[in-house]
Structure 1
Amino acid sequence: MQSQSPPPHSRRFAWASRNFRIQTAATVISGLGNAGAPIATAFAVMGGGGSATEVGYVTAARLLPTVLLLVIGGALADRLPRHHVMVAANVFSGLSQAVLAALVLGGHARLWHLLVLSAAGGAGYALYSPASGGMIMQSVSQEHAARAFPVFRMGQNAAQIGGAALGGALTAAVGPGWVLALDAACFLLAASLRFFLEAETMSAPEGGSMVRDLREGWREFASRRWLWVVVLQFSVLVACIGAVESVYGPIVAKERLGGAGDWGLAMAAYGVGLVVTGVLMARWRPRRILLVGNWGVFLFGLPALALAVAAPLPLLATAMFLSGVGVTVFGVNWMVALRQEIPEEMFSRVSAYDELGSYSLAPIGTALAGPAADALGLSGALWACALISLLLSAAVLLEPQVRRLARKSGADGTNDTNSANSTSGTSTPAAHATEPALVP
């Protein structure tokens, strides 16, 4: 019998593989809980009489194990089936959040409980994130990357809107414990979905030692100047943004605005900026990937500036919206650059070094957020974060590879560069390291 051609709608969405659809749906579900959890955690600390310094300590407690364990998570994800790693990490994170929710709801949560269980959540994320990054890269072919990644980011970012708004509203209405319980349920539901990812498309376990794998990943990461320069930029940016969103924002909302509900609305505006820009990025394929992406980074400091000048909620929400625009412009172009330049067998390890560098100073930034506010005043600390963000955005453009890295021929039907070395999962690391797609 002659096989029938797939229906038009099937061909139209041929770029969305089964693994891509499952991973995107699971990411949306877990993202709904994660968007509200930081708001709930901050107000759980303050509800127990905690200070800004203690809010920073709890946030740092989550980030520290993330930084310490990311490279191990990356090596595991390139050696083991990635869906197994993600499912185990999601279950662990869901259980730790469930315990924290029970303690908060029962009125028994102490600072050390929040510190320990936040650290457990950070460990779960460190194991999950490199596997997730490798999975989404692996499930998208190079020719469809510029179409698929904006859709993934839109789904991921849409969860930020609903999760932040719901988290802020629930924290204000019924307390932070229920928001943490929702986060636990979302983790467990996401784990159940990821269980159905197709195992045959995962990386097979490799021989040799994990130490060797980590060295190979480091060589792959360090050989690309555009990669480590941007990661170095983000190591400071993420520390500043973490201090603003996890510590200063909730404090300003409590002291000058309407509390958790208003901060949730501001975070939701940030999410709207993320999503609507995803629609643009699904159609826009800029030639110079990182140059355009870094223009988005210039918008990252606007929330700190709005908080510093005690802007009313509408202006704060506008600043958050524009920051979300910048995050999506950068994030989609960054994903395209990684998918284009990094060999498939290295995805998770390079993703781990990327996140390790980006988050390396985040625990210090959040831990010092309270003391910095005491020393400089809350407005002074916010002005410092805004200024640092602006200066770093300008400084990274001094690197020629950042300005010149270009979309390669054949990606989504484009023919943007004169580069003949198009990337595939079988390309050698040496070829990627010596011949990035640069244009004058």
Structure 2
Amino acid sequence: MTNSNGRAKSPLPRSYYVWLSGALASILGDAVLYFALGWAAATHGGTVAGLVLTAINLPRVLLLIVGGTVGDRFGARRVMIAGDGVMLVGTVVLAVVAHESGPAVWLLVAAGVLVGVKDAFYLPASGSMPLRLVGKEPLPRALAMRQGGAQLVTFIAGPLGGFLMAAGGLTGTALLNAATFVVVLVIVIAIRPVHDIPPAKGSGSFLHDALDGIAVGWKDPVLRAALITTGGVAGFLLPVIPLLLPLLARDQGWSAGWTGVVFGVQSLGLLAVTLFVMVRGALPRPGLAAATGVLVAAAGTALFAVSAAAAIPAAVLVGAGSGLFASHIGPLVLMSAPNSHLSRMQAMLTLVQSVSLLAMNNVMGNLARLTTATTAVLACAAAITATGVAALCSRALRTTSTAEPGPEPVAREDIGAAEAV
């Protein structure tokens, strides 16, 4: 079988399937724990619930660049082993203390801080693992498989979390999460990435290395355009379904059942594109494909404002556009980043998403309150369109091709930001 570039597809190594099974188990455990912490915090009121969510998100945002720098300096695999070990101990302690004293506020906040700090170090390292395990040519299919699996796991995490909280409370949920960390810890220790990259030689100054990661992401034209586009998508597209769609549904009198169907159709659209990339491979110009996906999602977002009858095709377009963007922008960033900066570029990618989403959730929510949900949706559609057009105007992003993948240029391996671009 050949991919969309007309070449025979390289098979994914067995080690990737093993790692992916552990990664998905970890995602499931984390999603269930997030649900459990939010549910337990809600029993103390809205203020505590917001405090616990802040305890998770704030350390993650503040420490992402630090976590990416640590991953590049000491090796992604070592960081993951340390993170899994810390979380294994932490979730067991959470289970024991919750069993003895109940879900006290201080315990929930401490657990949130632990999760946020772990994510800041773990996400950049984990994000670079597919490239280390499969190499460049099969990378889009590998990332699409991970994205599709994560979508399915997240879909079942909510009902599973509710069942576990009803059956075993926070203690039982924490023990399940601890079990997932045992699985992934054994897997990460056992596998040896075929395409692994030695830890980067640091400058001697941790701060310099952290700032160098930011500089490389900003000065490289492909990475800069990819990061800016990702920030626009995170800020204006990601709030549409979870935040604005329920508000729009209430304003226009949609039933809860119909709104739920629209939610599901959007996920199906995203999964359909993800499965296509898994089977056929990515398109040869990932930046162009990602920008096209943004414009498709913009059209779907605007269509939401028409009527309830247009919601289904709108959801399909939003899901398909999101899938087209996500399945191409991730491989593009990994393949464009210098080998010495893989974890730091993953940290930058996560950071721009987190900051944009955190800010625009509040902006769009208040815009819907001060005007109407329809106005907020149309504003998002206009901003998403501008983001897609700007991406197409970036020659570096639009013309970058993966048709003939080759080895990373030697000049970009271990050089500083000033020389890397």
Same-fold call, TM cutoff 0.5: yes
Correspondence 1:20 to 2:16? yes
Q: Find 2:80's aligned residue among 59, 71, 86.
A: 86
Look up the match of 1:230. Answer: 226
Superposed CA offset, 1:283-316 (max 9, x none):
144232111112222455689779878959x957
Which residue pairs with 1:126 in the alignment? 120
- Note the C-alpha offset of 1:372: 5.2
TM-score (norm. length: structure 2): 0.75
Matched residues, number: 408
Tell me whether 1:391 sits opposite 2:386 in the alignment: yes
Letter in 2 for 1:356: L
SS in 2 for 1:361: helix
Deviations along 1:193-245, whole A, 9 cap, x unmatched?
22322278644443542234324423432222232233223324324456556
- Could you say which residue in structure 2 is the equivalent of 1:72? 66
Q: Secondary structure at the match of 2:134?
A: coil
Name the aligned partner's letter for residue 278 of structure 1: T
1:32-51, aligned counterparts within 5 Å? Answer: 32-36=28-32, 44=40, 46=42, 48-50=44-46
For 2:371 and 2:311, the matched residues in 1 are separated by 24
Change (3 A) 1:198 1:431: same
Separation of aligned partners in 1, 2:346 and 2:244: 29
**146-155 vs 344-353, which deviates more?**
146-155
Amino acid in structure 2 at the alignment position of 1:142: K
- Shift of the 136–159 alpha-carbon distance from structure 1 to 2, 3 Å rule, reads same
Q: Which residue of 1 aligns with 2:336?
A: 341
- Given that 1:59 and 1:366 are in contact with CA atoms closer than 8 Å, whether structure 2 keeps it comes out as no
Deviation at 1:253, TM superposition (A): 9.3
Name the stretch that deviates more: 326-335 or 239-248. Answer: 239-248
User: Which amino acid in structure 2 is aligned with residue 275 of structure 1?
Assistant: L
* Partner AA of 1:191 in structure 2: L
* 3-state SS of 2:284 partner: coil
Alignment partners' CA distance in 1, 2:303 and 2:166 = 26
In structure 2, distance between residues paired with 1:81 and 1:311? 50
Q: Is the 8 A contact 2:52 2:112 kept in 1?
A: yes
Contact 1:30 1:186 in 2 (8 A): yes
When structure 1 is superposed on structure 2, of 318-327 and 227-236 the one drifting more is 318-327
Alpha-carbon spacing, 1:83–1:49, altered in 2? closer, same or farther (3 Å)? same
Q: What is the correspondence of 1:350-429 to structure 2 with a 5 Å cutoff?
A: 350-366=345-361, 374-376=369-371, 381=376, 384-409=379-404, 411=405, 422-424=406-408, 426=410, 428=412
Distance 1:364 1:381 in 2: 15
Structure 2 spans left out of the alignment, 5+ residues: 1-7
For residues 264 and 122 of structure 1, do their structure 2 counterparts lie closer, same or farther at Cα, with a shift above 3 Å needed? farther
Identical amino acids, percent of aligned pairs: 22
CA distance in 2, matches of 1:428, 1:376: 49
Residue 275 of structure 2 aligns with which residue?
279
TM-score (norm 1): 0.72
Shift of 1:331: 2.2
The verdict on how the C-alpha distance between 1:62 and 1:106 changes in structure 2, with shifts beyond 3 A counting, is: same
Q: Which stretch shows the higher mean deviation, 96-105 or 154-163?
A: 96-105
The 1:151–1:246 alpha-carbon spacing in structure 2 relative to 1, beyond 3 Å, is closer
Please provide the CA RMSD for this pair.
Answer: 4.6
